[in-house]
Structure 1
Amino acid sequence: MNSLIRDILSARVYDVAKNTQLDNLYLLSRQLKCNIWLKREDLQPIFSFKIRGAFNRIFQLSEEERACGVICASAGNHAQGVALSGRYLKIDTTIVMPVSAPDLKVNACREMGANVILHGNTFDDAYDHALYLSKTEGKCFVHPFDDLAVIAGQGTIGKEIMDQKPDLDAIFIPVGGGGLIAGVAAFVKFIAPNCKIIGVEPEESASMKVSLEEGKRIKLNQVGSFADGTAVKLVGEKTFELCQQYVDEIITVSTDELCAAMKDIFNNTRALSEPSGALSVAGIKKYLQENPHCGFKNVAGILSGANINFDRLRHVAERTELGERNEALIAVKIPETPGSFQNFINIIGKRSITEFNYRYSNPQEAVIFVGLQLTQGDDEKTHIIDRLTEHNLNVIDLSDNEMAKLHIRHMVGGKANVSDERLFRFEFPERPGALLQFLSTLAGRWNISLFHYRNHGSDYGRVLIGMQVPDENITDGSFQSFLDELGYNFEDENDNPAFKLFL
């Protein structure tokens, strides 16, 4: 413990990094009745805290190690930290990134003089290749989180926060591989042991939470791609041990809650956060709403990064209202008769309709997809559903249905009479050839009956696909073999009520 505190106090970060400001989120503080502060690591030269750990690690290399150059694997922020550190220290840097890495981050590394190698479809592919090059070419590998010098560099954020606001009740910290929370938690607990350290992970990438619950590191089979900066399947050995000692709790948040937090950050600071960067604010909101009597008076979060593709904001804006519980998505069955739509409007009252999708399906019954603006959150949604039910209308709440939010709302058009149809939601890597690989693996074995894709500005494309697959191809394992060979993340949506109602 003492050695890590010494390393944090002596960490060499300010050659390139800033002592960033701690902003009060006045609007959110008033809303949640708690003083909320935000550590603005988005103001670093690479728009992320990662510059601290990367520079501290590389600065400590011997002259012989510097002469050999450094190499790292990253899809984004760590890569830029290594690239900028290499430029400042005049050290040759090589960055291995997956082919799907956003151009914004690839170009940023190249502009800082790094040699960028695009390899593989995933971070794991890039990581393995970087380790191989490190061994064969003698380059020093700079780990993105599981290195004590990196952890100490990130820990300087904890020191700054304690200097700026020593009376905090809790600090909420984004968690990916664990480097940031390990460093900050170790220092804060040394200075202020009563200050709670609460980590925040995406629901679809909660590797630290499950590891701490199991008492050992657990590798996830797959992780979500929305908060790509924290999409880590396996946390570090060193970071896990430190989190076991110093972290009080890990909570998880949904994609919609993340989007709502991004809007909160913008409304309070005019800063555009990347999804992972908004984890702490999403965690603060969720924790304070679920624990209104926790007694916290002053809490802080870390805005860990702002490297977001601009075209991704379209998806974020679309999901924000749902994350704030200001919108409800419902499916309602009404009689296919004149006046039934007017009757539906009379029942829901003078509420703003954000979306309405309908296509004639049969002469007896109409199924409508409706978005409703809410002013009182889930209580109001429950009241609306109860009123519709009292009038003998069949209602299904789709507000938390991922397929409905990603696809159905954009493609309602009536059912097709297709035999043996099965529906799957895939994640396609956003790179040339991803569709071709799918079709080549499919090899014409089954007919595609439905296909829907929208660009959400992320590393993966969300694709909804229907295929005509007879029962015998399920039981004989041939279809499962196709899925295994393809290797894309997917969700089976055949039992999704939105599929049965609209498609």
Structure 2
Amino acid sequence: MLTLDKIYHASFTLKNYIRPTDLIHAPKICPDSNIYLKTENLQITGSFKVRGACYKMSQLSKAEKEKGVIACSAGNHAQGVALAAAINQIHAVICLPDGAPISKVEATKAYGAEVCLVEGGYDEAYAKALELQKEKGYTFIHPFDDEFVIAGQGTIGLELLDSLPDLDAVIVPIGGGGLISGIAYVLKALKPEVKVYGVQACGAPSMQMSVKDNKICRLPQVSTIADGIAVKEPGQLTFSLCRDYVDEIVTVNEDEISTAILTLIEQQKLIAEGAGAVAVAAAMFDKLPIKGKKTVCIVSGGNIDVTILSRIIKRGLLTSGRICSLNIELVDKPGQLKKVSQIIADFGGNVISIHHERSNEGSDINGCFLRIELETRNYQHIEEIRDALTQNGFKLEC
């Protein structure tokens, strides 16, 4: 069973392995609240997962260590297990979904683990890991539904109380539920008035549905840029802990996650992966009653594939009104493009790209279309430019 003694023991054990991450004040994230960021994205391996993996590994018997370990993961748990195995000189096999970010796959290999890529998602990787465990006699290191793993993640709760004794609330990402289970158990035991909120992606709300229905629910599929929390079914232990100790679970959509990633980059100079940004997204988009409260957002990981990052930034810019596209119907005569450009310049818009084409069949024979992509400040700025163009006689398509 999970106990406070076990979590304190984990904290003592992990001192030689993990980094006690900083708590950064970030008042601009949500001006109505007093936000702090727990920067687990700056943890060794780039994620909180190394805490649970290292503590679990430290508790294995000599015989278990000699046989080796196996794990499954979307990426972050894999790196945690791989590093812990290397520290303890244990052979590790990691089953990863074949769609896992290349950066996470390569990082896992770099720690010395044997990687087995499995077609499908996390659940397929999980099934393969169980198959290999029975075949080879490995010890399975579960990514979330294990009391030692949860105890390791719970050490974050102890650090929060040490760094910010008067905190009012904490917002935690949820995939399988190991992270929030450990944090919630600690906080509710040591300071029960602290609110513990969970956040899932709209495309993978397995824990939210399970707690709501008071039974474990399995989703037929999951789809989200937050691959680290794309879990179809929570664990038995984590479900029970979330049901008993978590105050509320909400969801955020893909645009909100992208905006949170962009905000962390611009305002805090922090790189977060999708799963690592969902707590910030929940705070930014008023998903929870944290107004006026001293609130910690857990930035759980920063292992984002750089090939995806540029697309997420673009999506975040679109969502926050920092980029927009205008389709303008013009009369095909000299000076029209110049006039449009002048209006945009007068209102401080910056043209990124422009496409000019003559009318298609069925349109005014003297007409043409102008498609412009702009850098803007926000949605209000976009409306100012649109209104100015309209007032000057230009017709904008929706």
Shared fold (TM-score, shorter chain, > 0.5):
yes
Question: Per the alignment, in what secondary structure is the counterpart of residue 325 of structure 1?
Answer: coil
Q: Is 2:118 the partner of 1:119? A: yes
Aligned to 1:161: 160
TM-superposed CA distance for 1:216, in Å, is: 2.5
Deviates more, 1:136-145 or 1:357-366: 357-366
Q: Per the alignment, do residues 381 and 270 of structure 1 end up closer, same or farther by CA in structure 2, a change over 3 Å counting?
A: closer
Q: 1:309 aligns with which of 278, 301, 305?
A: 305
Sort the Cα spacing of 1:248 and 1:355 in 2 relative to 1 into closer, same or farther, 3 A: farther
Letter in 2 for 1:262: I
Q: Could you tell me how far apart the structure 2 residues matched to 1:358 and 1:206 are?
A: 44
Q: Distance in 2 between matches of 1:331 and 1:230?
A: 38
Q: SS at the partner of 1:172?
A: strand
Match among 322, 325, 330 for residue 321 of structure 2: 325
The percent identity for this pair of structures is: 37
Does the aligned pair in 2 maintain the 1:258–1:323 contact within 8 Å?
Answer: no
Q: Do structure 1's residue 15 and structure 2's residue 16 form an aligned pair? A: yes
For the 8 Å contact 1:351–1:372, the answer to whether it is kept is: no
In structure 2, the CA distance between the partners of 1:383 and 1:238, relative to structure 1 (3 Å rule), is: farther
Q: Does 1:28 find its partner at 2:29?
A: yes
> Structure 1 residues 49 and 331 mapped into 2: Cα distance closer, same or farther (>3 Å)?
same
Q: Report the count of equivalent residues.
A: 388
Match of 1:375 in 2: 377
CA shift at 1:107, angstroms? 2.4
In structure 1, give the amino acid aligned to 2:249: I
**1:270, 1:335 → 2: CA distance?**
42
Alignment check: 8 A CA contact 2:198 2:246 kept: yes
- What are the superposed Cα offsets for residues 327-378 of structure 1, whole Å, 9 maximum, x if unpaired? 344555x25643776776788772514454454433616565444444353x
- In 2 relative to 1, CA 101–394 (structure 1 residues): closer, same or farther, beyond 3 Å? same
Q: What residue is the counterpart of 1:140 in the other structure?
A: 139
Structure-2 change in CA distance of 1:310 and 1:376 (3 Å):
closer
CA contact (8 A) 1:17 1:52 kept: yes
Q: Does 1:350 align with 2:347?
A: yes
- Structure 2: any 5+ residue segments left out of the alignment? none
The CA deviation at 1:63 is 2.0
Q: Normalising by structure 2, report the TM-score.
A: 0.86
Query: 2:182 matched to 1:183?
Result: yes
How far apart in 2 are the matches of 1:106 and 1:376?
Answer: 37
1:459-474 to structure 2, matched below 5 A, reads none
- Name the residue aligned to 1:454: none
Name the structure 1 match of 2:47. Answer: 48
The alpha-carbon distance between structure 1 residues 165 and 328, as it changes in their structure 2 partners (threshold 3 A), is same
1:329-344 maps to which residues of 2 (within 5 A)?
329=325, 331=327, 334=329, 337-338=332-333
- Please tell me whether the aligned partners of residues 178 and 239 of structure 1 are also in contact (alpha carbons under 8 angstroms): yes
**In structure 2, C-alpha distance between the alignment counterparts of 1:369 and 1:217, rounded to whole Å:** 49
Provide the secondary structure at the position in 2 that maps to 1:65. Answer: helix
Equivalent pair of 2:171/2:197 in contact (CA under 8 Å): yes
Q: CA deviation at 1:283?
A: 1.6
One-letter code aligned to 2:347: K
Deviation per CA, 1:194-233: give whole Å up to 9, x if none.
2221212222222222333333232223222421111112
- Alignment partners' CA distance in 2, 1:363 and 1:351: 35
Whole-angstrom CA distance in 1 between matches of 2:275 and 2:337: 42
Pairwise mapping of residues 105-254 of structure 1 onto structure 2 (< 5 A)?
105-254=104-253
Relative to structure 1, is the Cα distance of residues 100 and 94 closer, same or farther in structure 2, using a 3 angstrom cutoff?
same
1:363-400 superposed Cα distances (whole Å, 9 cap, x missing partner): 616565444444353x555666678789794643xxxx
Question: Residue 143 of structure 1: CA displacement?
Answer: 0.9
CA distance in 2, matches of 1:246, 1:137: 37
Check whether the contact 1:169–1:194 (CA below 8 A) recurs between aligned residues. yes
Return the letter of the residue paired with 1:327. Answer: I
Counterpart code for 2:261: M
- Asked if the contact 2:123/2:232 (under 8 Å) is kept, the reply is no
The residue type equivalent to 1:280 in the other structure is A
Say whether the 8 Å CA contact 1:336–1:363 is kept in structure 2. Answer: no
- Pair 1:88 & 2:90 matched: no
C-alpha contact 1:169 1:296 (8 A) present in aligned 2: no
Amino acid corresponding to residue 217 of structure 2 in structure 1 = I
| 3-state SS in 1 of match to 2:285 | helix
The one-letter amino acid of 1:95's match is I
Moved more, 80-89 or 61-70: 61-70
**Cα offsets for 1:58-114 (capped at 9, x unmatched):** 222222222211101123110111111111112211111233333322222222221
Which residue of structure 2 lines up, in the alignment, with residue 59 of structure 1? 58
Structure 1 residue aligned with 2:294? 298
Q: Distance in 1 between matches of 2:225 and 2:371?
A: 25
Q: Which has the higher contact order (CA 8 A, sep 6+)?
A: 2
Say what the alpha-carbon RMSD is for the aligned residues.
Answer: 2.9
1:17-67 residue CA offsets vs partner (Å, 9 max, x unmatched) = 1221111125436xx143221111122221110011111122222222222
